[in-house]
Chain A
C-alpha cells in the first residue's frame, strides 16, 4: 500500500523562493511555501490583493514565485482562476491552477466569485489563507475576525471594545455546494496539512483549502508564537481540522479534550483587553461549535491518529 505523504517524503523543491518579503514568523508564508512544494512546478498561481501579492507575487521586476503568476484585483480570485483553467483546457494543457486569497479576499469581497466557481465546480484549487483580518492594509476587521478581537476598525474604545460579531463559518458556505473537496488545515498539524494538499492536488473539480495562518503583526504576537497559536487554536476549538469529500464530513484530528479559550487568547495581544464577560461569550460560542463538530453525530476517528503521528514519535502533538 502506498504510504501517505508526510513532511519527510513530500517534495522539497520550493516554488515560493527565499527572499520573499513577509514579516518574520508569517503563517501565510509557511502555508503557501508548503502548498507550492506539493503542487510542484506545473502550477499557475493567481493571487488577489493581499500580503501575499506584495511579499510573494512581488514588486516589479521581482517575484518570489518561480512558476507562472498573475494578479489583477481583489475580489475576483474564483473568477480569474476559472478563466485561466479554461484557457489551459482549450490548449490541452493539464496545469494545476491555484488561487490563493486572504480572508478578506475570500470571506468578504471575494465571496461571490468564490461561490460562482464552486457552483460551476471549476477544476481549480482555491486556498484561503486566513489570518482573521485585512492585514495587508494594517489589520482591519473582516468577516473572519473572531469575537472580541482588536483590529483598527474594531478598536478598544472606552465604550466598545473589539469586534462584536462572530467569525463567519466559511466552510459551511463553501461546502453547501457540490464541490469535489474542501478541507481545513493547520500549519501545526503538518502531516495532516500535506495529506490534504496532496489529496486536493490529485482530485478534479473545485477544491477548497482553508488554512489558518497566524499573523504576528496583526495578532500582536511574537513571531515564534505562530506555531503555538496554530496549535492552540485547534486545542481550544477556535479552529478544527476536517475535510469534506462528496459532502461527507470527516474529522481528521480530534483534540483529546477541550482547552479553555484563554490559553489561546493569552498568546496574543489582540484579545488582551477582553472582559470576563466577553471571554465567556466567546467560550460559549466555541462550546456550541465544538459540540456540533465533535459530538455525538461526528464519525469516530478510526485510527487516523496513527497515520498522522508518523512513526508514532508523538511529534505531531496528537
Chain B
C-alpha cells in the first residue's frame, strides 16, 4: 500500500491523541508500520487540538505534520465553524465526522466521501461519558479498509484495557463495533469556505524586540495585554446557561464564581450573560440560591 495519512481534529479531553495512537497500534498489530503523534498546543480541555497518524508497509521516515490527509477525522463538528478542518484533504480522500446528521447534510467545505456517526450518543449510551474516541475508531474502519475493525478492537483492548481495566477495554471495544454498525456513508457538501485563520507572522526584522508587546494591533488583530479576549471560548462547551432574571436576587454569587468572567454586571447588580465565552461549566447554576440559572445542552430546544 501507499502511505496512508490521517489527521484528527478534536477538542482537548475528547481523546484525539489516544485515537491516533490506537489506530497506529491496530496497524502495527496487522504487521504494518505506523506512527502517531499529537500537535501540542498550549490550551486546555475543550480547546481545539490535532493529532496525526501514518500507516505504511515500509518504514515511515516523514515526521512532519499531516497537511494532506487521506482521511480526516472530525471528533467535534462544531470545529467546522471555527477551524480550517478540511484544508488539504487529498483528492479521493474521505472524512469521518462525529455528527447526528447524514453525510449529505454535513458541510465540510469540500465535496468528499464521508462517513458520519453520532459518536457522542454512542459514547454517552455505552460509556456514560462524552469521550468519543473509541466510537470514532469504529467509524474509521467503516470509512476505509486500511485497518480491520478487529485489529482496532484489539488495539482498544490493549491500550484502554491496560489503562482503565479489562471491563473498560471491553466497553470501549463494543462502542467501536456499535459505531461501525451505525455509521452512515455518503458524500458531504462543500459549500463552506475553508478560511485560514488570521495570523500575524512577522519577519525577524518586524518581530518586536524583547518578547514584549504593548496593547497594539498586528495583522488586523489585537495583540499584547488583554488581547486574548478575541479568543471566543464559547464553542468549547456542550451547554449554556439559561438565565431567568425574574427569579434573580442579584446576590452576585454566579458573577463571582464564573471562571470565564462572561457574566457582566451593572451598577445596580443586574446581570448579563455573554455566552460567546461560556465553556458550559455550570458553576453559575450550581451556586445560584434561587434556581434562576439552568444549564441547557446546546442545540436542544429551550
Residues of A within 8 A of B (CB): 7-8, 12, 14, 16-27, 29-30, 33-34, 51, 54-55, 58-69, 187, 190, 216-217, 222-228, 313-315
Rounded to whole Å, the gap between the CB of A248 and the closest CB of chain B is 28
| CA of A51 to CA of B43, assembled, Å | 9
Neighbouring A residues of B261 by C-beta, 8 Å:
14, 16-18, 33
**Stretch from B135-143, B187-195, B221-229 that touches the partner:** B221-229
Tally A-B pairs: CB < 8 A: 158
5 contacts between A and B (CB under 8 A): A16-B261, A65-B225, A65-B226, A223-B280, A226-B283
Q: Which of A23, A66, A187, A227 contacts B44 (CB 8 A)?
A: A23
Instruction: State which residues 42-86 of B face A: CB under 8 Å.
Output: 42-47
B262–A8 contact, CB under 8 A? Answer: no
Q: For residue A225, which residue of chain B has the nearest CB?
A: B286
Chain B: number of interface residues, binned into ranges: 35 or more
Which of the residues B47, B251, B262 comes within 8 Å of A21, measured between beta carbons?
B47
Which B21-47 residues sit within 8 Å CB-CB of chain A?
Answer: 42-47
Cα distance A14–B223 in the bound complex, in angstroms = 18
Tell me the nearest residue of chain A to B280, going by C-beta: A24
Q: Which residue of B lies closest to A20 (CB)?
A: B228
Q: Is the CB of B283 within 8 A of A68?
A: no
The answer to whether A17 touches B259, judged by C-beta atoms less than 8 angstroms apart, is: no
Stretch at the interface among B87-95, B118-126, B150-158, B232-240: B232-240
Instruction: Kindly list the 5 A-B residue pairs having the minimum CB-CB distance in the complex, ordered from nearest.
Output: A66-B226, A224-B282, A25-B281, A29-B259, A19-B231
Inter-chain contact A30/B257, CB cutoff 8 Å: yes
Q: Is B19 an interface residue (CB 8 A)?
A: no
Determine if B229 and A17 form an interchain contact, defined as CB atoms under 8 angstroms apart.
yes
Assuming A67-B225, A223-B282, A314-B289, what are 5 further A-B pairs, CB within 8 angstroms?
A19-B231, A24-B280, A30-B257, A61-B213, A224-B282
| Smallest Cβ-Cβ distance to B238: which chain A residue | A24
Q: Which residues of B contact A14 (CB under 8 A)?
A: 261
Give the complex CA separation of A2 and B227 in angstroms: 36
Q: Contact at A224–B44, with CB atoms within 8 Å? A: no
Instruction: Name B255's contact: one of A7, A18, A23 (CB within 8 Å).
Output: A7
| Interchain CA distance A8-B256 in the complex, whole Å | 9
Closest Cβ of chain B to A274, distance in Å, is 16
Contact among B200, B225, B249, B279 with A63 in the assembled complex (CB-CB below 8 Å)? B225
Cα distance, A7 to B211, chains bound together (Å):
36
Is B279 a contact of A19 with CB atoms below 8 Å?
no
Are B43 and A55 in contact (CB-based, < 8 A)? yes
* A61 and B260 contact, Cβ closer than 8 Å, known pairs A23-B45, A223-B283, A228-B286: no
A36–chain B nearest beta-carbon distance, Å: 10
Do B251 and A18 touch across chains, with their CB atoms under 8 A apart?
no
Q: Cβ of A65: which chain B residues have Cβ within 8 Å of it?
A: 225-226
Q: Which residue of B lies closest to A34 (CB)?
A: B256
* Contact of A8 with B229 at beta-carbon distance under 8 Å, contacts A18-B277, A223-B281, A226-B281 already known: no
Q: How far is the CA of A222 from the CA of B237 in the complex (A)?
A: 13
Q: How far is the CB of A9 from chain B (nearest CB, A)?
A: 9
Quick check: B281 and A24 within 8 Å, CB to CB?
Answer: yes
Most buried by B among A18, A22, A222: A18
In the complex the two chains form, is A59's CB within 8 Å of B227's CB? no
**Which of A23, A227, A313 is most buried by chain B, counting CB atoms within 10 A of its CB?**
A23
**Interfacial chain A residues near B274, Cβ < 8 Å:** 18
CB proximity of A23 to chain B, nearest CB, Å: 4
- Chain A residue nearest in CB terms to B202: A61
A27 to B229, CA, bound (A): 19
Which of A24, A59, A62, A227 has a CB less than 8 Å from the CB of B279?
A24
Q: How far is the CA of A60 from the CA of B47 in the complex (A)?
A: 17
Cross-chain contact of B230 among A26, A30, A62, A69 (Cβ < 8 A): A62
Q: A18-B277, A21-B233, A60-B211 are in contact. Are A227 and B227 (CB under 8 A)?
A: no
